[in-house]
Every structure is written in structure tokens, then in C-alpha cells.
Amino acid sequence: MGFLDNYPKLSGVGAEVDAFLRRKHPGFFAADSVRPYLELKPRKVIHDGVWGTFDFTWRELAILDTPLVQRLRDIHQIGLAYQVYPSARHSRLEHTLGVLVMASRIFDALMAKHRSQVRDSVKVVFGTSTDEEVGLRIEQLKQELRIAAMLHDVGHSLHSHASERVFGKLQVLKEAAEELSDFAGKGKGAGEVVSFCVALAPCLREWMQRAEAKLHKDGTRGVYDGPVDMENIALLIVGRSKHPFLQFLGDIISSDIDADKLDYLLRDSTSAGLPLRYDVDMYLYSVQLDLDQMKDGEGALEKLYGHTGATGAERRPADGGSEYPYYEAYRLCLPKRAMHVLEQIVICKMMLFSYVYHHPKVRAAEGLLERMLGSLVELLKNSNKNEWEILEWFLEATDADLRLLSRDAAMGTIQETAYRIVNRLLPREIIRLSASEAVGPQKALLAAFLGKIRDKAKGPGFVKTWETAMGEELRKRPGFEGLSWENALAKAGIWVDVPKAPKFEDTQKVVSRSNSGRDMASGMFPVHAWQQGYTSYRWYVRVYAYSQFGVAAKECAKATMKRLSGIESDDFYKGVERVRF
Amino acid sequence: MNSSTADQVTANDISLGEFVTLLVLQFDRQQVPMPFQNEEKWHRLFYAFKTEWDKPGRPAFLNKLRFDWDGRYPKAMELSECLHTLHLNGFLSVGNPTYDTLSLDQDVRQNADKVRPEVGDAQLEEFLKYSTQKASGLFR
């Protein structure tokens, strides 16, 4: 793994991913593989329902043809949202290709505007001087960017984020994510660990070498066929680059205004049937580079650029102008005149969270799936499967596995839960809590109660305390006697759902300061007003239960919440309970 | 260190959420303005806490608080989430016209004694006082 020598956990996942791919798909990744059989065309065209018709290069097509990326066809981009929005059945593959297209378009837009800065950066980074060499290096960077876009989501498993929340709890991935965060100098999750490791897997490099040997050389004019740097591709996936002057490439893949967002906002809303739009033409017309300071107080970037061997990257010491040491970096940003695009992006995102991602039925389906996958992991552990074997299950799984589990009678309660999800026999909300539900002294108690639930360090423990109390209460009732509190909850389909708050764009960070001065976004962009409205009225902690146990579950939830929160008022509970039962 | 009961927080076991809750209650009492729209000052304050390794009563969670180095200042995502959480829970509000500063919700202020995490550690109390002084200089 070379530049990961000091990151044993990350290297460990990398070695595992490489071994798994070789073992699972020998026709593609084993050392003696004879694929690809036929000569490769230098380019092909692919049609997309959102972005139209685009060219893909032989290298991208070779990666696209592997089971790694093909698997994404069978993973829905927005999990189980199709249970509410029937047409929201688009796949991770469509999104992946869309991100590639948008990343490429952003790159082209930047080149049209900042050709000389990019050329000067390339000269420093690669130590090249002739025009031809510089041109080739720019083509190389574009190709690396496009491959990074293609690989950025290969770490996803069945139903996207719901499964990531489960396999992300595997110790091997948690430790690797810690190391990746140290390595990149910013927080990274389990899915990114897998995508990062795939990009670095030697078997993928070998696959591309074999593909290159099969490239049909006629018609390669205009198609880049020089080398690519897989380490840079891996860095781009986690929003970094080998050199601070090329940081804008990492920003295109992972930042507040990245290609990923441009694609998912439009694709998710279009597929769901929601008429949400932002001005993509204005975005591409306006997007620009700013030379900015990237602070490095703890030396994370110094270490990173040490690993990548970034020549000419100077870590400047803290001085009168900066409290911390820093690197100068080219960053992706939008100018003041494109503020309305940023507003549109934030509104689209809020609407998607409100209508789709946090829809009560979508949360019910995904919560049930998470619990089912958690039980599956326990079952695998009890069958003496180690964490690597469990990770392999997730690396191979697609949405089709849910349906298979729903038919497998040997799986017991896992099968029952899968059957419920597949057939949309979902729990209902019985209690819905948000900050706007209380006034007076109750408001303070509710704020404290919700604060305990949402405390990242202690919240899961507190949620468990509440769930345990509900389970104990339930055991006293007919039909639940003799069950453990966990089994009583499982039978009634009860859990407390605490969705993660949507993270809104950092307007301070993405708006250019070059012409408009510091903090110009403040005061002119009412995102915080919208956010306050959203969070007060559309973001809930919910308690779910199956319909047939709704009345008993609601009584248990209210009685236990009274004890834990200190809120006594009956009017308050009338306000927060859902009345369908 | 004092002996503490199970419900009391100490420098060793206090969470970021509890610490920020205590801070905002104290800031409100001392009339320290709390920036909202631009979080930079909060992050700089907490990064300073993180680097003050030998300060008595310094909460242990600071050792593990991760700062992202990806822009013009160190940014702890957990701290951002925590500030938002207090906002989402109705603990804090931003009723002023420009959304520049946070203020404690009126109902919360009147019932502060009911919602304040109980501190069972004299050194942590000292650190809270020190934090308020430091923030007072930085936030104004």
C-alpha cells in the first residue's frame, strides 16, 4: 500500500478488500485472469435521464465493466424511499455516472476560466515545463478526477446508507475510519474507507493494465491514454489531492458544492417526482478557484503532503495574518453573483430531507432494515464469523438480498422482518417530538430531554434507557408476559428514531472572498432563518410501533417519558401523540 | 477532585453536549454574546481548550475531539452538531434579525436550574469559569 505504511488498520482493510476481490471475481481480478477478452474501444457514449448523452473513456468503461461497479445497479440510490415515492428507484450506478459527468463539467468550466493558474500549478506539482507535457498532465488530472467520481460510492452496500450505519459499527472499519480521518486531516466514515481502499487495491491497477494492453489504438485521438495515479484517485475520493495547489479537485468530489451534491439533488428529486431545481448552468458559468489558506495547526496536512511527496508545497508558519500554520491551496468556490444558486441548493436539500429522506414511512422502513441487519450481524457473529467475513457479506450484498432474506424461513425473525419490509408492513409513528411542541416549563424539560437523546456521546445510552423502560412496561401487559424487554420491543416493533440532523452548507466557506471581502455571505443569505424554521417544525424524534400494538405502545411510551423527562402535562402528551390508532 | 454521584458530571466523564450546555447557561448569565451564523469563534475557542493539555479540570473528551483541517480555521464537526442540537431542541434561539448571535430560550432561562447538568467536580467548575472568561474575550 506504500503511502499507508503508518496506517496499519487502513492497510489491513485495503489488503482484505484486494484479497476479497481476487477471490470473489477471479475472472476480473485474479493475477492470471484473461479478461478483458476483446479489444476495447477508446470511447463509448452513455445516455443518462438527467444529464443527457456523454462520452466515457476506455479506462472508465473498463472499470464500469467490473462487478465492483456493476453491483451498484442493484442498489437503490435513496434506500427504501421507493416505498413512499414509487418512482424513486434510481440506482447508485446512475448516480455514479452522473457524478462523473458533473465532475468533468466542473473541471472544464474551471479550465475555461483559470487555465493559466491550473497550468502554473501543474508545472510546480509535476516539475514539467513544456506545453505538451503540461497539457498531458492536465488530461491526466481530468481522467483521475473522473475515475474518482466513478469509484466514490463503491463502498455502498444494500439500500445505501441504512446498511452503512450497520457495517460502519464493525471494529475493523471504525479503526480504519479513524486512521483515514487522521490521514486526510478530516473526518471520514466507513463507506469512504472501502471506496478509498478499492481505489488503492493492486488488483484494480492490474485490471487496468490488462485493459490498456487490449486498447484498440485506432481512434484514440483526443482520448487520454497515458498513466493515471491511483493514489491521487484515492485521495480525491476523500476530498483531498496530492498537492494543495490541486485541492480544488478534491473539492469537486467532496465539499459543500461538489459534483456528488449537484447530481443527487436533481436525480433524487426528479425520480421522486418532486419539482425541485437549481440553476446548474449558472453554477457552471460561475464556479471558480480561489487561492486560499488551508490551516494546519496539528500538522495533519504536513504529514499528508509528506506521504504524497508534494513538491513546492510550503507550510507557512503562523504569523500576524494567521493564528495557525497554513498551506496556500486552490479551492472550489462560487462568487457573490451566484449566491442564488447556493440558496437553491440549500432549499433543494431541505425539501429533500423533509419530504423524502426523513419522511416518517421512509424512516420506518430504514429503521426496520437497520434493526434487521443488526440482528443478521449478531447471527453471523454467533455462527463464528469474524468481522472480515461479515464485511465481505456487506461488500457483496445488494438490495436483492433483502428479498432473498424475506423468503428464507431458516432465518427466523430476520426473515419475518425482511418480509415486513418487502411487503411494506411498516410500523407507524406513535409519538413525534420536536422543539416546537412545548411551552413554558415543559419547553425547558423537553429541550433537556431531547438534548440527552441527541448527545452524541451519551445519547445512544439514553435512548437505550428509554427503550428498556418501554420494554419493561410492555412486559406487564397481556401478550408480552414472559418475554425479555428486548423481545417485547421487537414483537411490538417499538424503537426510538433519532435521525441525524441535515448538515447545511457552510456559506462562509464556499463563497469567494476574492472580490467581495470577508464574511460577505453574512446578512445577505437567510439560510439560518430557513434552517431554524425547518428544524423547529420538520425534524422529529419519533417512537414507532406496529399498528396492532399501537395503543399499548403509546401508553408505555408516554408513561416512561413522563418518568424520564419530568414532563407531567397531559396536554403535552396529547399534542405529541399520533392519533391514527 | 470531589467525590461525585452517578447523576453528577466530572471532568472525566462529561460529554461535549453536557459541557456546551453548561457553557451556554453560564454565558447567558454572564452576558457573553454567543455567535451563531459564523461558528469560527466557537471552533477557535474549543481548539484552544484542546491544546491546553495541563489545565486543571479540563474535560477529558477534548483529548479525542477531532478537528478538520480543511479551511480557514480548525473545525470540529461534533461541536457544530452540538450547537445545532441545542438549537434544534429549542434550548437556544436566534430571534435577532441578522442571526448573528444565539440567545438562551426564555423558558429555558427561567427553568435553568432544572436543566443544568449537575457538576460534581470543583476543578471542572473552575474550568467552566475560566472558559467563560476566555470566551468573553474571544466572542466580543
Q: Of A242, A273, A304, which residue constitutes the final position of a domain?
A: A273
| Long-range contact pairs involving A132-140 (C-beta distance under 8 Å, separation at least 24) | A136/A224, A136/A226, A138/A111, A139/A224, A139/A226, A140/A224, A140/A226, A140/A227, A140/A228, A140/A229
A251 within domain boundaries: yes
Tens digits of per-residue pLDDT, A393-417? Answer: 999 999 999 999 999 999 999 999 9
**Cβ of residue B9 closer than 8 Å to a chain A Cβ:** no
A260, three cell numbers: 456528488
**Residue, of A514 and A191, whose pLDDT is higher:** A191
In terms of C-beta distances under 8 Å and separation of at least 24 residues, what long-range contacts does A421-427 make, across chains too?
Answer: A421/A80, A421/A365, A421/A368, A421/A369, A421/A372, A424/A83, A424/A365, A425/A546, A426/A83, A426/A361, A426/A364, A426/A365, A426/A368, A427/A364, A427/A367, A427/A368, A427/A493, A427/A494, A427/A544, A427/A545, A427/A546, A427/A547
Q: Number of residue pairs across A and B with CB atoms under 8 Å?
A: 143
- Whether residues A444 and B98 touch (CB distance < 8 A) is answered with no
**Is the pLDDT confidence value at B5 over 80?**
no
For the stretch A410-424, what's the b/e string if a residue is b when 16 or more beta carbons lie within 10 angstroms of its beta carbon? ebeebbebbbbbbee
CA distance A562 to A560: 5
CB-CB under 8 Å, A444 with B112: yes
| Domain membership flag for residue A554 | yes
pLDDT in tens, B48-75: 999 999 999 999 999 999 999 999 999 9
Choose the final residue of a domain: A243, A273, A303: A273
Q: Is the pLDDT of residue A43 over 60?
A: yes
pLDDT at A236 over 70: yes
Q: Is the pLDDT of residue A108 over 60?
A: yes
**pLDDT higher than 90, residue A526:** no
How far off is chain A from B131, nearest CA to CA, in Å? 19
Residues of A with CB below 8 A from B100's CB? 522
d(CA A466, CA A142): 52
Q: Would you say residue B2 has pLDDT above 50? A: no
pLDDT in tens, A18-31: 999 999 999 999 98
> Residue A218 and residue A133: Cα distance in Å, rounded?
22
Flag whether pLDDT at A518 surpasses 50.
no
CB contact B70 to A (< 8 Å): yes
Choose among B15, B38, B99: nearest Cβ to A508: B38
* pLDDT score of B1: 44
Shortest Cα distance from B126 to chain A (angstroms)?
A: 23
Whether residue A568 has pLDDT greater than 60:
yes
**Predicted model pTM:** 0.95
Assess if residue A357 is contained within a domain. no
pLDDT of residue B39: 86
Give A445→chain B minimum CA distance, Å: 7
> Chain A: nearest CA to B4, how far in angstroms?
18
CATH of the domain at A142: 1.10.3210.10
Under an 8 A CB cutoff, do B90 and A536 touch?
yes
CB A156 within 8 A of CB A191: yes
Is A404 domain-assigned?
Answer: no
Chain A contact for B2 (CB, 8 A cutoff)? no
Per-residue pLDDT at A319: 87
Q: Which chain B residue's Cα is nearest to A459?
A: B17
Q: pLDDT digits over A1-13, tens only?
A: 467 889 999 999 9
Among A349-363, A507-521, B22-36, B89-103, name the one with the lowest average pLDDT.
A507-521
Show the domain range for A250: 8-273
Residue A418 lies in a domain: no
Contacts with A35 (C-beta within 8 Å, 6 or more apart), sequence order: A27, A28, A207, A210
Quick check: A540 and A362 in contact, CB under 8 A?
Answer: no
Contact between chains at B69 and A294 (C-beta distance less than 8 A): yes
The share of chain A scoring above pLDDT 90, in percent, equals 83
- Cell match 485541492: residue? A247
Q: What is the pLDDT at residue A574?
A: 93
pLDDT in tens, A157-173: 999 999 999 999 999 99
Which segment of A153-157, A389-393, A500-504, B68-72 scores lowest on mean pLDDT?
Answer: A500-504
pLDDT given for residue B98 in this prediction:
66
> What pLDDT is attached to residue B95?
65
The pLDDT score that the predictor gives to residue A548 is 94
For the ranges A19-28, A89-98, A531-540, B6-15, the lowest mean pLDDT is seen at A531-540
Question: What residues have CB less than 8 Å from B15, skipping those under 6 apart?
Answer: A455, A456, A457, A458, B9, B61
Of B73, B77, B85, the CB nearest to A454: B85
Whether residue A320 is contained in a domain is answered as no
Q: Closest chain A residue to B51 measured between Cα atoms? A: A298
Collect all residues of chain B within an 8 Å Cβ-Cβ radius of residue A523. 98
Picking from B14, B43, B72, B84 by the largest number of A CB atoms within 10 A of its own CB, the best residue to mutate is B72
Q: What is the pLDDT of residue A581?
A: 55
- Predicted pLDDT of residue B84: 84
Segment holding A62, helix H or strand E: helix A58-64
List CB contacts (< 8 A) between A503 and chain B.
Answer: 80-81
pLDDT of residue A515: 55
Which tens digit of pLDDT belongs to each residue from B68-121? 999 999 999 999 989 888 887 888 877 666 667 888 988 999 999 888 999 999
Give the total number of structural domains in chain A: 2
A193: left (phi over 0), alpha (psi -120 to 50) or beta: alpha
| 3 state DSSP class of A56 | strand
End-to-end CA distance of chain B: 32
Task: Evaluate if residue A239 carries a pLDDT over 80.
Answer: yes
Q: Tell me, what's the pLDDT at A3?
A: 76
B44 touches chain A (CB under 8 A): yes
Instruction: Using the 3D structure, point to which of A241, A273, A305 is the last residue of a domain.
Output: A273
- Residues forming a β-bridge with B35: B101
Mutate to test the interface with A, among B24, B89, B94, B104 (most CBs of A within 10 A): B89
User: Is residue B3 very low, low, confident or very high in pLDDT (cuts 50, 70, 90)?
Assistant: low
Q: What mean pLDDT value characterizes chain A? A: 93
Task: Classify residue A174: in a domain, yes or no.
Answer: yes
Listed range (A138-142, A229-233, A388-392, B116-120) with the worst mean pLDDT = B116-120
Q: Is the pLDDT of residue A524 over 70?
A: no
In angstroms, what separates the C-alpha of B63 from chain A's closest C-alpha?
Answer: 13
Radius of gyration of chain B (CA): 15
Asked if A532 lies within 8 A of B94 by C-beta distance, the reply is yes
